[in-house]
Amino acid sequence: MAIPTLDEAQYIEKFGPHLNYEPPGGWEAHRQTGEATLVKTHCCFCGVQCGIQLKVQDNKVIGFEPWEEFPVNHGMLCPKGVKRYLQNEHPDRLLSPLVRTENGFAEASWDEALGRTASAIRKIQSEHGPDSFAILGGASMTNEKAYMIGKFARVAVKTANIDYNGRLCMVSAGAANKMAFGVDRAANPWSDIPLAKAVMLSGTNLGECFPILTDYVWRARDNGAKIIVVDPRMTPIARTADLFLPVRPGRDSALANGILHVLIERGWIDRKFIDAHTIDFDRVRDLVKRYTPAVTERISGVPAASVVRAAEIWGPAETSMLLHARGVEHQVKGVENCLTYINLVLATGRIGKPGSGYGTITGQGNGQGGREHGQRCNQLPGARDIENPAHREFIAEFWNIKESELPHTGLTACEIFDAIEAGKIKGLLSISFNPLVSIPDANRTRAALDKLEFYGCIDFFLSESGRHADVVLAGSLQEEDEGTVTTGEGRCVRLRKSVTPPGNARVDWEIIKDLAQRLEAGDHFLYSMSEDIFRELAAASKGGSADYSGMTYAKIEKNMGIFWPCPNWTHPGTPRLFEGGQFHHPDGKARFHAFEYRPPAEDIDSEYPIFFTSGRVVSQYLTGNQTRRIGDLVDQYPEPLCEMHPLLAAKLGVQDRQPVRVITRRGEIVVPAQVVKTIRPDTVFVPYHWPGKKSANLLTNRALDPISKIPEYKVCACRIEKVVQS
């Protein structure tokens, strides 16, 4: 039973989060002595992966300098990037493996920690079958680690149940991309954004979640572009948009259908492109006939006139970029929403050209690469399909195992927790994943963690989930290892080891390698450095959809990143996909998809009359396991607030900053109200970065998209009560 043995305050006292404000030794210490080295690497947060120079002295990260030559961000950084250097010498940094005792944790030797983990894996599997032990990976990890953990699960642990926290991020967009285009990657480099004459940002709080892309959008506007923003909240990027569409949560597919209706009616479609390069347009045309502006207004909550105006901006534009993120993707119809938006791109034929295209903006550090190399339950390296016989044969041979030994599709991240609850999965090993804070319906997640016979956790700080662990394996921060990540535009970039892991902590891939050895699969993991893993994953990807086989560390460094596909040594990489209308389905054509709007899994009713939605703030990243430990980032937005419109606040009798109780069918939280005119009056918003009693994911609905299995974070029903303080 993986039940924490201390109370929350005791864990916090020992493992944090404590707030670190200063570089090692304080502000004065290092600034007076000796020269510091500048290491050109990348920020560890978000899919933009800004270039940054970490300032290193005596094997400690002591600060940063902007890296102005890196072509994506030119030195620009968001506050998380500015303060990201404060982790390596952080007082909370795990310095040794830990094993759970009756009084929290005790330090252990690597031999003991790895031995206990390996024997727990084998014991559970011998009693309950190979799939009773699950592995959870993370999309903040390097390509090398993503590849290795996928191979480790299938070849060493021999379980089908390996998935990752990208399942909570953008898998619906990935599935939609494959269905529409035959490949899962943003279609354009971000350098196409400033060339667009119309930019539609749907469900992306771009200014807070991908801050440096703001400059790309502003440059488009400087060049005469019109900006359309679709969001239930007037986010910083929406404030100065040309057209703001305040969509009712969970209604995105209706809105996109409505815009296409007007495009077709006004003749703003590219019939030549549609005929030559796509199929199934007629089905969509017939479907959207019903989505008149009036009908669209009724469903989506966006005025009919604004629906028409969106079409008037989008339709005749010479070039255009459509970008979306979690707002449309975190729904039980996430795939449908994305495909409905893709219809707008295909109908106008504006894709595969300079300034014209489409992309999902991946949220996690390696949101793109993390989903390509086989840490997904339904996927093999090179973005191959685990149920495709040819793909299975190729990878089995490459890994030197029998095809019959290669597990088939396993459970997805949320389903793994459902299976723990049902008693089917008994053991878990996680790396860079904090499910207690990130999986919806946190009360159930906590009960599931408690129920595990064994939980092993590889991480650099002890997360809230890690408190449940039987064994904690002290791993590495991004700056403590070599590797690569693939950014949201499909550019594979190089991360540099700036320092070695402190204390007795170890580099993640070495931990996995040692575990594989203890599981008698050491022969399959004969790596002596990160580049060995990269060479193998690049070779494994050859001929796959995400082909890295023409990349090397040296080539990536020299070019400041290479876009896949890059199928041979002389290939320069592929910044823009689909040039000349060539899509990646076998017939070379893109697919339209006709989806009737359907409501969210849980809609508002008289008992729960208000929409609940969640998202990020600019100063925090994901579950906050890193950013809730950095003082200035915490001070910037110290605790979750419940954003609500003054009309709703007046109805509830709530003043700004008064505590309110937000209640859903799954749980309740008490947080201060933030009364602002920048959110729909029928909707409240709470950011999700916090654990415990203020966790937004106590409220959210673990209802899954049927295709991608992404949960519906972005819409459920709640009611609000004013908290009367005595």
Partner 1 sequence: MIGADDQFFIDPSRCIGCESCVLACMECDTHRGRSMIHLEFIDRSSTTQTGPVVCMHCEDPACAKVCPADAIKQTEDGIVHSSIKSRCIGCSNCVLACPFGVPHYVAAIDQMVKCDMCFDRTSIGKKPMCATVCPSQALFFGSVEEVTRIRTERPIQEFQFGGQPLRTKVKMMTAPGTELMDVDIMDFMPGAESTMVDIAALSVWTEGMEVLNA
For binding to partner 1 (CB under 8 A), which residues are involved?
A: 21-22, 27-28, 31, 63-64, 66, 68, 73, 75-79, 81-83, 207-208, 211-212, 214-215, 218-219, 221-222, 224, 226, 234-246, 297, 301, 303-306, 309, 618-619, 632-633, 636, 645-647, 656, 674-681
Shortest Cβ 450–partner 1 spacing (Å): 38
| Polymer length of the chain | 726
d(CA 369, CA 173): 14
| Cβ contacts of 417 within 8 Å, gap of 6 or more | 435, 439, 444, 445, 448
| Cβ contacts of 272 within 8 Å, gap of 6 or more | 349
Q: Please state the φ and ψ torsions of residue 697, each to the nearest 5 degrees.
A: -80, 5
d(CA 305, CA 312): 10
For residue 161, give both structure tokens.
């149940």
CB 339 within 8 A of CB 710: no
Q: What is the DSSP string of 629-687?
A: GBHHHHHHS-S--EEE-HHHHHHHT--TT-EEEEE-SS-EEEEEEEE-TTB-TTEEEEE
User: Alpha helices, DSSP H only, in 301-362?
Assistant: 304-314, 326-329, 334-347
Shortest Cβ 190–partner 1 spacing (Å): 13
CB 662 within 8 A of CB 671: yes
DSSP 723: P
Shortest Cβ 29–partner 1 spacing (Å): 10
Q: Let me know how many helices (H) and strands (E) the chain has, helices first.
A: 25, 30
Nearer to partner 1 by C-beta: 245 or 511?
Answer: 245
Nearer to partner 1 by C-beta: 27 or 569?
Answer: 27
Torsion, Cα of 257, 305, 606, 646 (10° steps): 130
Per the DSSP assignment, residues forming a β-bridge with 722 are 660
Q: Please state the φ and ψ torsions of residue 615, each to the nearest 5 degrees.
A: 180, -160
Number of CB atoms found within 10 A of residue 58's CB: 12
Residues 93, 86, 636, 364, CA torsion sign = negative
Nearer to partner 1 by C-beta: 520 or 656?
Answer: 656
| Cβ contacts of 195 within 8 Å, gap of 6 or more | 220, 223, 319, 354, 355
Shortest Cβ 636–partner 1 spacing (Å): 6
DSSP 353: B
Judged by DSSP in three states, 313 sits in: helix
| Cβ contacts of 338 within 8 Å, gap of 6 or more | 172, 173, 175, 176, 177, 324, 328, 329, 360
Nearer to partner 1 by C-beta: 63 or 565?
Answer: 63
In Å, the largest CA–CA distance within the chain is 72
Shortest Cβ 560–partner 1 spacing (Å): 18
| Cβ contacts of 83 within 8 Å, gap of 6 or more | 630, 632, 633
Shortest Cβ 480–partner 1 spacing (Å): 21
Torsion, Cα of 659, 664, 667, 672 (10° steps): -10
